[in-house]
Amino acid sequence: MGYQHGVLLGDEIRARIGDGLLGGSVQEGQVSHFLLLRHAHQTETRIRPEYRAEMAGVADGAGVSYSDVLVLNTYDDLVARPWPDESLQDLLLSLSPVFTPHFGPPGAPGGPGQDVRRGTSGPVPSSRALGAFAVFGLATRDGSLLQVVEFGSPTPHPEELVMRLYQPEEGDSLICVGPPGAVGCEVGLNEEQISVTALFSPSGDSSLDGVPLPFVLRDVLQDAGDIPGALAILAGEERSTGHNVLLGDGKRPDAQAVEFSTHLYAVFEAQNDFVVRTNHFLDEGLAETQRSLSWWQEDESWEHLEELLKALESDYGRLDSAGAMKLVRQVANDAEGAPSGANEPEVLGVVLAPGDLEISLVAGSSGDESLVVSLDERP
């Protein structure tokens, strides 16, 4: 699987390494390449052997080093997260002598620390997911579950996202959506109608000793057949930093939100058949770990949450897949400084319909065709 991925998308993977990683985070001074490599190989021991083998296949197929693919799959943990000073100090002390990492100011204009659409400075992940919601029961037209994640600016080009279909010998078949070269999952569903979406939610409660979330969510999709099983996997892993994760089960249907940092963990059941999250925590204990960050601007995340709630309220009881796509476009168009999509194709978000085993990429314009992929169950 990894070798096919590397052969088919070798140009895109090499460009992501050269332009996005070495020409972006490293060249712009956010972090040293050597520090990224050191952290990646420390993290490698916590990743399942089959995922490491898949990354090796990606590297062989794309004609790049295994270390580069490993960094692509782990560097958000270092670049996009506010590590406590003592954690970085501990890591640096473990490095070879005469090495000084060069960190630039987070949120430099136009750099990877800046959200152009909302102006939020500080570390941000490469996915730039701004919000997510799940609706079912009375909230949808036919009662089935829909789960949605929406992207911020700069929104990805269709060629910057890959849908990967897995049919493992053991475990569930699944689809993941992510950038070229990715092996973990932040958006996806499996054949048992379990769906996941993840939002970066920064926290001062962070650790360098943790499993990157995409690999944990890949475990969820491969091994969990219901929400309790998914929660058990999330709770049982060593976590690196803060995220908001939505879990859905199209069989019941049901959805729940999980907020967590390295040491804190909170689960929220859906209210009135829907659950919504942006990039801040609702649990008070977890929220305090965010407010300790000098750059964190909580008001903007709350404002976006209100935008999503207002949009859902107006469409409550009438949502289907097409309606969810329209809602994502409407929220993007209403946002100040939203991308136009007039000249370049873009993806504003992803809609998952677990009951139909379908994932749709939401095109930036209603006139553009949205890509829909269905997961066929294994024989």
366 band by pLDDT with thresholds 50, 70 and 90:
low
Which CATH number belongs to the domain containing residue 293 in this structure?
3.60.60.10
215 has a pLDDT exceeding 80: yes
Q: Classify residue 210: in a domain, yes or no.
A: yes
Last residue of a domain, one of 93, 120, 141: 93
How high is the pLDDT of residue 315? 96
How high is the pLDDT of residue 19? 73
Q: Classify residue 246: in a domain, yes or no.
A: yes
> 33 and 139 share a domain?
no
Lowest mean pLDDT among 54-63, 124-133, 149-158, 242-251: 124-133
pLDDT single digits (tens) 123-141: 444 557 899 999 999 999 9
How high is the pLDDT of residue 75? 81
Query: What is the mean predicted confidence (pLDDT) over 18-37?
Result: 61
> 85 and 134 share a domain?
no
Residue whose tokens read 């390494």 = 17
> 208 and 256 share a domain?
yes
Tokens of 92: 């640096």
Which domain does 42 fall in, by range?
2-93
Burial of 193 (0-12, 13-18, 19+ CB in 10 A): buried
Query: What is the mean predicted confidence (pLDDT) over 62-78?
Result: 88
84 has a pLDDT exceeding 70: no
Q: Classify residue 328: in a domain, yes or no.
A: yes
CA 228 – CA 236 distance, rounded (Å): 12
Q: What is the mean pLDDT of the chain?
A: 83
Instruction: Determine what percent of the chain falls in helix, strand and coil, rounding each to the nearest 5.
Output: 35, 20, 40
105 has a pLDDT exceeding 50: no
How high is the pLDDT of residue 108? 31
| Separation in Å, CA 3 to CA 47, 65, 215, 221 | 18, 13, 18, 21
How high is the pLDDT of residue 78? 67
Lowest mean pLDDT among 73-87, 150-164, 220-234, 298-312: 73-87
pLDDT single digits (tens) 182-213: 999 999 999 999 999 999 999 989 887 889 99
Lowest mean pLDDT among 18-22, 36-40, 69-73, 121-125: 121-125
> 191 and 247 share a domain?
yes
CA 136 – CA 145 distance, rounded (Å): 4
Q: Classify residue 101: in a domain, yes or no.
A: no
CA 238 – CA 215 distance, rounded (Å): 12
Burial of 136 (0-12, 13-18, 19+ CB in 10 A): buried
Bigger pLDDT: 112 or 319?
319
CA 227 – CA 248 distance, rounded (Å): 7
375 has a pLDDT exceeding 70: yes
> 184 and 62 share a domain?
no
How high is the pLDDT of residue 134? 98
Q: Classify residue 8: in a domain, yes or no.
A: yes
Q: Which of 297, 364, 1, 351 is nearest to 146 (CA)?
A: 351
> 166 and 298 share a domain?
yes
> 86 and 135 share a domain?
no
> 188 and 275 share a domain?
yes
CA 8 – CA 4 distance, rounded (Å): 6
pLDDT single digits (tens) 289-337: 999 888 888 999 999 999 999 999 999 999 999 999 999 999 988 875 5
Q: Which of 3, 308, 18 is nearest to 150 (CA)?
A: 308
Task: Tell how far CA 116 is from the center of its chain.
Answer: 18
Q: Classify residue 363: in a domain, yes or no.
A: yes
Q: Are 360 and 195 in contact (CB under 8 A)?
A: no
Q: Classify residue 102: in a domain, yes or no.
A: no
How many domains, the chain?
Answer: 2
42 band by pLDDT with thresholds 50, 70 and 90:
confident
> 176 and 62 share a domain?
no
> 229 and 322 share a domain?
yes
pLDDT > 90 in the chain, percent: 61
Bigger pLDDT: 254 or 154?
254
Last residue of a domain, one of 93, 115, 139: 93
20 band by pLDDT with thresholds 50, 70 and 90:
low
Last residue of a domain, one of 40, 75, 93: 93
> 16 and 73 share a domain?
yes
With vertex at residue 80, the alpha carbon angle to CA 360 and CA 147, rounded to the nearest 5 degrees, is: 25
Global pTM reads 0.86
Q: Are 203 and 262 in contact (CB under 8 A)?
A: yes
> 186 and 289 share a domain?
yes
CA 243 – CA 259 distance, rounded (Å): 6
pLDDT > 70 in the chain, percent: 80
100 band by pLDDT with thresholds 50, 70 and 90:
very low
Per mean pLDDT, which of 64-68, 352-356, 361-365 is the most reliable?
Answer: 352-356
- Cis peptide upstream of residue 339 (ω within 30 degrees of 0): no
Q: Classify residue 98: in a domain, yes or no.
A: no
How high is the pLDDT of residue 17? 86
